[in-house]
């Protein structure tokens, strides 16, 4: 049976401090908490920011080495960048509809509070936890397998691999941009804009700026806000 720590249960059943920007963030006092009593589960719930590239980088390289010879460079590129675009939409929908949908539901119905906290509330409560910012393999691997099945069904055995590789590249970009916005202090104008864009979601408007790797879908779907 999975047992959660008292800190985790207390945080999950408390008020959403992160949903109330006028209140001080809990993360200003504590950057992380222990979630699982079981030391193995606690260990695998953490992930180093390099892990997405380590796990999925070889698949991306393999796709570019093998696919152009079979289906041509142009088709490989189209499938690959289509996969990148597909993941950017998936990322946006997951963040806006699932994660924040659960958080809004939890505000209305306490029965959803723990689920919402585990799905996304933890990140808003403790946004500076370095080891819980990128997806751990116990989540990213099954998700990659589902994407592989989906693309295999859509494109067939000869063409699914470049699309899957593009999705993996989109996922790596998502995780690394997300880590960058929280733990780097950029000097370039672009870097400052990217960081400010995401932090505005955390500290100004939780119903906008859902794109992390790109503002594309915020612009297309009406959740982009001007500075004014």
The residue-averaged pLDDT of 63-77 equals: 97
Report the C-alpha gap between 178 and 195 in whole angstroms.
9
Residue 120 domain-assigned (yes or no): yes
118 in a structural domain: yes
CA–CA separation, 143 and 140 (whole Å) = 5
Domain annotation covers residue 226 = no
Average pLDDT over residues 101-127: 91
- Residue 36's DSSP bridge partners are 4
CB-based burial of residue 87 (10 Å sphere; 0-12 exposed, 13-18 middle, 19+ buried)? buried
Asked if residue 49 belongs to a domain, the reply is yes
Instruction: Say if 213 falls within a structural domain.
Output: yes
Number of domains in the chain: 1
Domain assignment present for residue 227? The answer is: no
Residue 23 forms part of a structural domain: yes
**Is residue 227 predicted with pLDDT exceeding 70?**
no
Q: What is the pLDDT of residue 22?
A: 45
Of all residues in the chain, the percent with pLDDT exceeding 90 is 79
Provide the domain limits for residue 52: 6-221
Residue written as token pair 């116990």: 138
Condensed to tens digits (0 to 9), the pLDDT of residues 74-96 reads 999 999 999 999 999 999 999 99
Report the pLDDT value the prediction gives residue 161, as an integer from 0 to 100: 97
Query: How far does the chain reach from its first CA to its final CA, in angstroms?
Result: 50
Query: What are φ and ψ of residue 45, in 5° steps?
Result: -80, -10
- Tell me the pTM: 0.89
Query: What is the average pLDDT value for the chain, to the nearest integer?
Result: 90
Tell me if 228 is assigned to some domain: no
Q: For the segment 138-184, what is each residue's pLDDT rounded down to a tens digit?
A: 899 999 999 999 999 999 999 999 999 999 999 999 999 999 999 99
Query: Looking at the predicted structure, is the pLDDT value of residue 198 above 90?
Result: yes
């Amino acid at each position: 049976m999975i047992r959660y720590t008292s800190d985790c249960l207390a945080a999950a059943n408390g008020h959403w401090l992160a949903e109330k920007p006028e209140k001080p963030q809990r993360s200003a006092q504590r950057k992380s908490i222990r979630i699982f009593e079981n030391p193995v589960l606690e260990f695998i719930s953490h992930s180093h920011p390099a892990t997405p590239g380590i796990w999925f980088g070889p698949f991306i390289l393999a796709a570019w080495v093998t696919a152009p010879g079979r289906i041509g460079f142009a088709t490989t590129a189209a499938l690959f960048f289509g996969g990148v675009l597909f993941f950017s939409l998936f990322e946006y929908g997951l963040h806006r509809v699932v994660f924040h949908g659960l958080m809004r539901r939890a505000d209305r119905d306490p029965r959803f509070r723990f689920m919402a906290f585990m799905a996304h509330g933890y990140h808003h409560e403790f946004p500076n936890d370095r080891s819980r910012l990128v997806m751990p393999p116990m989540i990213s691997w099954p998700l990659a397998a589902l994407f592989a099945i989906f693309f295999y069904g859509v494109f067939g055995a000869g063409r699914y691999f470049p699309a899957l590789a593009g999705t993996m590249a989109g996922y790596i970009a998502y995780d690394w941009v997300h880590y960058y916005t929280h733990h780097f202090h950029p000097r370039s104008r672009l870097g400052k804009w990217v960081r400010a864009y995401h932090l505005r979601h955390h500290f100004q408007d939780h119903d906008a700026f859902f794109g992390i790797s790109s503002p594309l879908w915020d612009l297309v779907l009406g959740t982009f806000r001007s500075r004014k």
